[in-house]
Structure 1
Amino acid sequence: MKQIIYKLLILIALGLLVILSFYSLMPNPEGFSAENKLGFSIEAANEHVKNISEKPHSIGTKAHSEVRNYIVQELQSLGVQVQTQKGYALNNEGVITVPENIIAKLSGNDPSSKNDLMIMTHYDSAVHSSFGASDAGSGVAVILETIRVFLKKEIQHKNNIIICFTDAEEVGLNGAELFVKEHPWANNIGLVLNFEARGSGGPSNTILETNSGNAKLIKAFSKANPEYPMATSLMYSVYKKLPNDTDATVLREQKNIPSFFFAFIDDHYDYHTANDTFKNLDQNSLAHQASYLTALMPYFANANLTELQSESESVYFNFPGIGMIHYGYAIIIPLLIIAWVFFLAICVYAIRKKIFTAFSLVKSIAWFLLILIASSLVTYFGYQLIYHQYPEYIENQHGFTSNGHYYIYAFVSISLAVVFLFYRAIYKGESLKRTLPAPIFIWLLINTIISIAFKGAAYFIWPLFFGLLNYFLVIKYNRPNLWLLLFFSIPAIFIFSPLIQFFPVGLGLKMLVVSSLFSVLLIGLLMPIFIHYRKIHWLGVLFIIVASISLLMAHHKAEFSNVNQKPNSLLYLLDADQEKAWWATYDHQLDKFNSPYFTEENEVIDSVIFHSKYNSRFTKQSKAEVKPITEATILVKEDSTFQQKATRKFSVKIAPQRKINRMEIFADQQVNFYNLKVNGLDQDYDKKKIFYQDRDSEKLLTYYAIDRDTLSLDFEIKKGEIFDLKIYEASNDLLENKNFNINERTQNMMPRPFVLNDAIITKQSLRLNAE
């Protein structure tokens, strides 16, 4: 009986350690209440978030101006001199708009060249229905409250502190582009701290942006000593391979300014949606952002920021209770060699003691590989089956559904069940000691590959070292203390458990296979504990029960409801040249909101791809009544004085005659434009690709319109070219326009995010002849 209780307590402790590995990542928001020693008030920060996220406030809206005025007033109430920077900004993807940045400076007492610290976030919300509480109202709130505390405490700082709330981040990082290109303060910045969000909860990840090595940056970050650092060189390496950019990317690319940016990414289903509200903002996430800035701002405001760039790279990771651990790439291979030597020495010792033979070692490795493959295949095909069983999931563009966490629990549990049941079936009646080298060997192979091809994950070697120690203890002693084995398993639990959840949360449920692999590999490191459970298959049964409950919960929350709203879309498209009109949608499944506008014949007439994150196309179109929507006035002028024989020069002015939100220009993909200027701006020619040449689609330009401003295009085209310039104007007022009577969405619906939505679109064609 004592042995049963003993082993049961080990299992309970193991479960508690897994839970602790997640809860240790973020601070308790109560630590940032008004009475805390830092002086930071999370209550005050929440008031800022509430005020900023009262309405959707994408660029060009009335609410956008109201948010800007609020931020300016809050800064002025702190005694800070504020300026705004407004102007056209054209990015390298062909997106132009008129951002208005909010900028201020806290002057240092001993500023020097290239040594200003910049604190940054953006204040516009995603187009067009997001309230922007997390993305990035949370960043604005944390910065405003930290500045208040900083000034109240009269903290001395040598460096100037530049505060920049950028605009138009959501449409193309245009505010950062404007600041870098036109503001003189951009020339003296040594480091950027940028705050972001890609969801509404979870721990805030620290990512480095640098053109050089990370060694000095991470060393300085460690010295600043934020209390809950969530930073690993794995995330740094993954981020460098992804296409996602932030405002800080613009400063790195154009001014070689390094940065840290901080972003929480859980509850990803709220990202850019109408559910990005204050109610859904995780208070722990807000506190985590505050923990970074309250520690880093005083430190870097007094550091020599010119010394942060280096050629060398570091492996780094955080560990609860210890903080940041970092070391150079030079010791990756020596550590790997030590691990291999340690492993081989234990294996030789075990073979001499006749615990297993060389043949049984190879056999156990083969079986463990089979378990890895089996669990991965079960997860892959299992999720494919689920995805087809619930057709509503196709409406989710994030890749992570609102019940996604239940699928993580389910498929991780299924993977663990596969492990324990396979072990029972394969090694029934045999000593499980002989299985211990197999997962260690696989981990060594993984670390060998990592040390060559993906050095950012080289810290995986440390849990392996402790796994080797447990392996030795089991081989050396017949009945080692399970509490000791559990203690040496803590590094594996604390490092790998959060990663099991991170990949599907951050990159979508299609990454569940990665979670499955990590789960099996983690159990492999914990096998020195589990081999002491004679009826190991009961653990498999337990995890089947957990998986079943999780799948039932996921099923219960799969249907659209007031909490899990169905995203939908409806657009009206008027071809002014043909005097024809269509209803259009991006939905695969119609609902009560948009189904009245479509018939069985819903052929897509216009396959245009408007500017959006996922390059979405219309899924259905249906004929509609032509309404009196005013199209733009277009003026075309060919420069008759332009004598160059190979090309012809044109000027096109497009003047909106109604309040629009955006304008999109398309032209035949085969037509190359030369020396294109948009409202007097041209693209930087030091870029490898010029957006208007050698295009991979018909898209030429996207203009997010402000105040009915005219769009002017000056360009050259080759002599002999004849083509149509297609001009689409869109206003997000379909539901308010008096020409239409559109029913409101019910509580179990929300506007489809990421796409042009609730819009009235006019299409005009302009024939250009360069004969």
Structure 2
Amino acid sequence: MPAARGPDAPADTFSATRAATHVREIATAPRPSGSAAHTRAREYIVRTLTALGLDTRVHTGAAASHRPDLSPIGADSRYADLRLRNVVARVPGTANTRPVALVTHYDSTEAGPGANDAGVPVSVLLETARALLEGPSPRNDVLFVFTDAEESGLLGAQALVAGPGTLPPDTVVLNFEARGSKGPSLMFETGPDAGWLVRTLTESAPDARADSLLDAAYRYMPNLTDFTVFQEAGHQGLNLAHLDGYTHYHGTGDTPDRVDPATVQHQGEQALGLARALASADLTHTPVGDSAYFRAGGWFVSYPLGAALPAALATAGLGLALLLRLQTRGALTMGAVLRGFAVALGQLVLAAGAAFGLAPLVASGHPEFAHYYDIGGHGPALIGFLSLTLTVGCALALIAKRWAGARAQVAGAVLLWILLSVVSAVLLPGGSHVFVWPTLGLLSAAAVLTSRAGETAGGRVLAAALGTVPAAPLVFPLVPLLTNALGLGLVAAPVAVAALLTALLPGVLPVLPRLLPVTAAVVATTVLAGVALLARGPENPVRADLLYLWDADRRTGHWISGVPADDWSDDFLPTDAERGSVADLWPGWRVPVRRGPAAEAYPLPGPRVTTRVLADTAGGGRRVQVTAASRRGADHLVVLVSGTTVRGWSLSGVPGQYADDPAGDAPWELWIRHVPARNWNWSWVRGRRRSGSSTAPTACRGRRPTDRTAHDRPRSGSPHSEKPPWPPPPGRWSEAVRDTVRRRAVRDMRPRVARSAPPPVPFSLVSRTRRPAAAGRARRPPSPSPSSVRCTPAGSSPWSGRAAVPRCSSPPRPGRSCRRRPANPSASRRRGRRSASCSVRPARWPCPPAAGPAAAR
């Protein structure tokens, strides 16, 4: 990666230091869509672009979309937002042929300030706009677009493509993202007919990192970005992001001090280079077709994607010709080749299987492993797993030597590479180069090893060089890249790729050190054991997960958690709580969690709902309108429809995308983001009925549950604050629960010697509707101290603080003491009830004023 440029860099170049000032201004606090920090970030973006002299406008709109891949609970979810704010700035061209748009989102999750996701892309676009204006006037229009609500279902981009005239249909889109905190900026996804764009990238940014394998594999993954929306709308373009340093992604640790200046410089140089190249080009007629591309050392190779299969077939023909020649000369029989093929396949399967089985064992002391976090960085762990791969390859080659000789094993490995080349060219043409070009080197090596020269030490060394040199530039960089992209949870994939390189081991083992297998085994054991025993610290925090559900009809509360039992959650959930379904609390929730009744209730008023039948439709359908409003100013609402099909729907006049109903008995689900303070109307056309038809609106505060498991558990506490008034006003119940729980919930993960007051840690709170759960017993959490202390900033973070509230769930009557309201396990479960709940997640928030707790947004 290039070195970061300082503030004295030439005005027409990109400077990571200048861009870093924007990150510090934007990433001061979590900025989910609709929050105060979100508004401040938008105003800063508009102010900065306006100061550059650009025509900057804020486009308001609404959007509704069907995104089941984003469902936090495995349900068939839809998303809607009625108050979206997209920022668009325009650099006019002198003779526009096609506009070029540089796009990123400016919202973040509620878990943290989002300095990398997407503070870095925002700063890159702002600095790119400044540097672009320092050069010659562009020929084409250049748009700088900052979308809203990407973290809430890609809704800002949806409104952008649906809005008339906002983004012309022929616009070339360059989307910038972040899924980590360091590493190179990778071009990992392309739009349709993007071969010419890939060539433009490599010409305008010589240090660009791109591989068509990433694009091909990404299409089979459930991940989505704003670029997904632009692809669906038919826009050509590229998607770029940095992936390394996943530890603090979507967490409290994603702060400006964890931004890598080299990463900012790398992404900025690509953005500026692409912007200048596309802005000055004639884009009236662009070539069609996609390409296969990869970097091999200092060279960037690109060729038409349609040539992938012919190249694979040509390689296969050369390989089969070699095997046929060996059989004709009597050097090998077909049976020996097949036995060698079985050995090579066994090396791959055993190495990948060992990595798959050992990875959870190595990470057993790291609960964050369940969320694909780094374990002390991927480097040490990857060295251990690669040593394990070498051990397995050597051991199996020696064990099977009598059953399949060295020549047979090499020939069998060549046959495996040929098979993978052809299969990948058919199923994954963008990634076939990983197998096709190394196979050519292996064929040369196999030809030497199966000849008389292969019986000499010099011939074996030559064969090792011929087989390794063509594969090294492709496979060696790919292994750490796959580890960063997939995480240690799927480390078996890069291990399998590395295992393929052991194909030459049977032929070159005689010239290798005799103790190589033993040495590799010792290194693997030592390194993996060291990673497993790695101490926790600020750089590898533990993940936390705690969700409170409140049933307003039964007036019962429940705690659930998605992580194993530990000292942190023992005070809320029974230690023996087993993982299971919570479909009785939230129909359609398919993610298993630990659950238990709340020993102390926190009442939350449910939403106000009215239902009206508008008309009957053809085919036995019916148009129904639901009007709802939150009693406490909730940010999100969820509508669940079960027992019937939904043919179409709209929200306050905004039509939703039609989609088939969920399979089986799963309910139809709609998440409404950024809920208006007034009533909102949801209209839907009911289709065929199922048994037990019902509609259940849900009041929520905060964000979707998928991110409730993506928060760092803080390592230290915050000072106490002034005791807020009790009971809080109706719109502040969520804040009251948050302040009570954060007063006592988080503990240090070190073993406790004695029961003592836990360090105070700030929390954010989300309230949601849930159905009642089976009652049970749980350990009662320690009561908070009623003493009041003045609120002061905590630690080094300028946005941490906490508040304490008394333990009573409701004000006691005169002359009576405060009592807990017991759960009612015998109450019947009725469909269609309105209830409310809250989800508690560790986060840091502005220190509340003396009059009461700060609002959680």
TM-score range, shorter-chain basis?
0.7 to 0.9
Within-5 A mapping of 1:92-103: 92-93=66-67, 94-97=78-81, 98-103=83-88
Quick one: which of 278, 295, 298 aligns to 2:276?
298
Q: Is the 8 A contact 2:695 2:832 kept in 1?
A: yes
* Corresponding letter in the other structure for 1:275: G
Matched, 1:573 2:549: yes
Q: SS of the residue aligned with 2:644? A: coil
Between the aligned partners of 2:408 and 2:617, the Cα distance in structure 1 is 84
Matched with 2:26 is 52
CA distance, structure 2, for counterparts of residue 644 and residue 354 of structure 1? 77
Supply the AA of the counterpart residue of 1:726.
A
Q: Deviations over 1:149-193 (max 9, x none)?
A: 1112x2332110111010100110000011111141322443110
Does residue 235 of structure 1 match 2:214?
yes
> Where does residue 530 of structure 2 map in the other structure?
553
Is 1:728 aligned with 2:698?
yes
Question: Where does residue 482 of structure 2 map in the other structure?
Answer: 503
- Corresponding position of 2:296: 319
Q: Residue 513 of structure 1: CA displacement?
A: 2.4
- Distance of 2:122 and 2:328 partners within structure 1: 64
TM alignment of 1:27-426, pairs within 5 A: 27-30=1-4, 34-35=8-9, 39-93=13-67, 94-97=78-81, 98-112=83-97, 115-126=98-109, 128-152=110-134, 154-210=135-191, 212-222=192-202, 224-254=203-233, 256-308=234-286, 310=288, 312-323=289-300, 325-344=301-320, 346=322, 360-383=336-359, 385-386=361-362, 389-390=364-365, 393=367, 396-398=370-372, 401=375, 405-426=379-400
**Alignment-mate amino acid for residue 315 of structure 1:** A
Kindly indicate whether the alpha-carbon contact (under 8 Å) linking 1:585 and 1:621 is maintained by their aligned counterparts in 2.
Answer: yes
Q: Structure 1 length as normaliser, TM-score?
A: 0.83
Matches of 1:608 and 1:101 in 2, distance apart?
Answer: 38
Selected match of 2:594 from 608, 614, 619: 619
1:469 corresponds to 2:444: yes
Q: Distance in 2 between matches of 1:468 and 1:32?
A: 49
Pick closer, same or farther for the CA change 1:148–1:432 going to 2, 3 Å.
same
Q: Distance in 1 between matches of 2:139 and 2:44?
A: 29
> Distance in 2 between the 1:647 and 1:352 partners?
73
Contact 1:432–1:531 (8 Å) recurs in 2: no
RMSD (Å) for aligned C-alpha atoms: 3.7
Q: What SS class does the counterpart of residue 168 from structure 2 fall into?
A: helix
Report the secondary structure of 2:356's partner residue.
helix
Describe the shift of the 1:146–1:60 C-alpha distance in structure 2 as closer, same or farther (beyond 3 A).
same
- In the alignment, structure 1 segments of 5+ residues that lack a partner are 1-26, 750-755
Q: Deviations over 1:673-720 (max 9, x none)?
A: 3442212111245xxx25x67686224210122553533112343698
CA distance in 2, matches of 1:649, 1:369: 59
Structure 2 residues not aligned, in runs of 5+: 68-77, 703-731, 750-762, 772-829, 834-857
CA distance in 1, matches of 2:281, 2:168: 18
Q: For residues 190-235 of structure 1, what are the alpha-carbon distances to aligned partners after superposition, in whole Å with 9 as ceiling and x for unaligned?
A: 311001122223332213333x44444434444x342223222222
What's the secondary structure of 2:250's corresponding residue?
coil
Instruction: Report SS of the residue matched to 2:166.
Output: helix
Secondary structure of 1:374's counterpart equals helix
Amino acid at match of 2:96: P
- The answer to whether the 8 Å contact 2:587/2:667 transfers is no
Q: How many residues align?
A: 714
Q: 1:435 to 1:117 in 2, by over 3 A?
A: same
Structure 1 residue 629 corresponds to structure 2 residue 636: no
- Is the contact made by 2:30 and 2:114 (CA closer than 8 Å) also made in structure 1? yes
What letter matches 1:589 in structure 2? Answer: P
Contact (CA 8 Å) 1:232, 1:318: kept in 2 or not?
yes
- The answer as to whether partners of 1:201 and 1:282 remain within 8 angstroms in 2 is yes
Match of 1:14 in 2: none
Distance 1:167 1:363, change over 3 A: same
Other structure's SS at 1:563 match: coil
Distance 1:636 1:357 in 2: 78
How much has 1:350 moved relative to structure 2? 6.3
Following the alignment from structure 2 to structure 1, what is the Cα–Cα distance between the partners of residues 492 and 466?
28
Alignment of 1:415-494 (within 5 A): 415-427=389-401, 432=406, 435-459=409-433, 460-473=435-448, 475=451, 477=453, 478=456, 479-480=458-459, 482=461, 486=465, 489-494=468-473
Give 1:702's aligned residue: 671
Q: Matches of 2:351 and 2:619 in 1, distance apart? A: 66
- Residues 330 and 65 of structure 1: CA distance in aligned 2, closer, same or farther (over 3 Å): closer
Amino acid at match of 1:447: S
Deviation sequence 1:33-55 (CA, Å, 0-9, x none): 74379621111122222222221
Q: Is the 8 A contact 1:410 1:546 kept in 2?
A: yes
- 1:485 Cα shift? 5.6
Superposed CA offset, 1:75-99 (max 9, x none) = 1222212111122211123211222
Q: Provide closer, same or farther for how the CA distance between residues 345 and 261 of structure 1 changes in structure 2, counting only shifts above 3 A.
A: same
- Counterpart of 2:272, as a letter, is T
Distance, in Å, in 2 between the alignment partners of 1:251 and 1:306 is: 20
Distance in structure 2 (CA, Å) of the matches to 1:309 and 1:726: 52
Q: Secondary structure at the match of 1:76?
A: helix
- Aligned pair 1:680/2:653, yes or no? yes
1:401-433 deviations in Å (ceiling 9; x for gaps): 555554332222111111123334444999956
Q: Which amino acid aligns with 1:490?
A: V
How far apart, in 1, do the equivalents of 2:190 and 2:665 lie? Answer: 28
With normalisation by structure 2, the TM-score equals 0.75
Q: Which amino acid aligns with 1:717?
A: R
- What is the CA–CA distance in structure 1 between the aligned matches of 2:263 and 2:586, rounded to whole Å? 33
Q: Residues of 2 paired with 1:422 and 1:718: CA distance?
A: 60
Q: 1:376: Cα distance to partner?
A: 3.0
Q: Tell me how far 1:342 sits from its aligned partner.
A: 3.7
Q: CA 1:365/1:248 → structure 2, altered by over 3 Å: closer, same or farther?
A: closer
Distance 1:547 1:600, change over 3 A: closer
Given that 1:133 and 1:277 are in contact with CA atoms closer than 8 Å, whether structure 2 keeps it comes out as yes
Deviates more, 1:430-439 or 1:37-46: 430-439
Percent identity at matched positions? 21
Letter in 2 for 1:423: A
Instruction: Quote the offset at 1:492 in angstroms.
Output: 0.9
In structure 2, give the amino acid aligned to 1:375.
A
Q: CA separation of 1:497/1:300 partners in 2, compared to 1, >3 Å: closer, same or farther?
A: same
How many angstroms apart in 2 are the aligned matches of 1:118 and 1:264? Answer: 20
